[in-house]
Amino acid sequence: MMLLRACYGVRGSFPSLAATAAATVVSVSLGKSTVALCYGCIATLLRRSRSVAPLSLERVLLLRTTARSGAVSDLWLTLEPFQLAAETIGNAPLAQANGLCGSAYVDFLATARSSGLLGLTGRFEASAWENIPAQFRHVEDGERALRLADGNGAGALRVSEVDVALLLQAKAAIGAGIEVLLETAGIRAADIGKVYLAGGFGMHLNVAHAIAIGLLPGFREEQVQVVGNTSLAGALLALVDRTTLDEMEELREQVEVIELNLADGFEDRYIEHLLLP
């Protein structure tokens, strides 16, 4: 069995089992073998593995929040006619929402692109922008932002072109990393049997939207299964059955490091993924 660990510009020992479990969000089942694509920390595990690189959604967005009560978890946008719809955790009114989950930002990218608001590079298209009702348009120091609810204060919910640019950087790192590691493993995305999405981000993620923006490049919606908090489940399993620790250690010892910043083609793929499909 071949095990790869991909990281972005970081050398050093493999992280502890606890850190590894916390980082894992995607596991891919291919016949009798498994490919684990791990998002989260910079040093990440794969069973044919990979890491995600320079940016994470948690760090790049001012109004990004965790999956907590009052946060926007799902978002839909149409232009003709203009309509914004959202779901919040705990069913709080959108006007009282306290931030956007990463899943809501993915929804925004997908629906704003499909509706024609966002162009290929992630900028607001001029004609579409002018057709948005004035109360939903916000411009400050030349930066355009879409208001998601009435309000103009510092904490008002809005998504700007700067936010979109940061989102595209995170999306590009993930997409390029997946492609490089699949190529290293000699596997095509289309050949993967099952992709497992775990963690709070995965629980609320609209899989079709993630595929549409290139976050899971080459995968089909029917390949993807959301599996919840697998790190907690894994920790519980280790407590109940101590023999699983030996298996975890055995896997850890077989890891080979793939540094994405040194991998052939990663930078070119990263630049390609900065665009919206």
Contact call for residues 147 and 137 (beta carbons, < 8 A)? yes
Tokens of 165: 């640019």
Scan for tokens 């894994």, then name that residue: 234
Nearest to 154 by CA among 240, 62, 218, 24: 62
Give how far the C-alpha of residue 87 lies from the chain's centroid of Cα atoms, to the nearest Å.
19
DSSP string of the chain, one letter each residue: --EEEEESS--SPPPPHHHHHHH--EEEEETTEEEEE--SSSS--BTTB----S--HHHH-TTB--S-TT-EEEEEEEETTEEEEEEETT---GGG---B-HHHHHHHHHHHHHHTSB-TTSPBPHHHHHTS-GGGEEEETTEEEEESSS--STT--EEEHHHHHHHHHHHHHHHHHHHHHHHHHT--GGG-SEEEEEHHHHHH--HHHHHHTTSSTT--GGGEEEEE-HHHHHHHHHHH-THHHHHHHHHHHTEEEEEGGGSTTHHHHHHHTTS--
pLDDT at residue 34 in the model:
40
User: Using omega within 30 degrees of 0 as the cis cutoff, is the peptide bond preceding 81 cis?
Assistant: yes
Burial class (CB in 10 A: 0-12, 13-18, 19+), 122: buried
To the nearest 10 degrees (0 to 180), the angle between helices 161-185 and 102-115 is: 100
CB under 8 Å to 183, separation ≥6 — which residues?
265
Rounded CA-CA distance 67/103 in Å is 9
Nearest to 47 by CA among 69, 72, 27: 27
Contact call for residues 164 and 276 (beta carbons, < 8 A)? no
* pLDDT tens sequence for the chain (277 residues): 445 555 544 333 323 322 332 333 344 433 333 444 443 322 232 322 333 333 344 444 444 556 677 788 889 999 989 998 888 888 888 877 878 888 889 999 999 999 999 999 999 999 999 999 999 999 988 889 999 876 554 457 889 999 999 899 988 988 888 888 888 888 888 888 888 777 766 777 899 999 999 999 999 999 988 887 777 888 888 889 888 888 878 877 877 777 887 888 888 999 999 999 9
At position 70, the amino acid (one-letter code) is: G
pLDDT at residue 236 in the model:
87
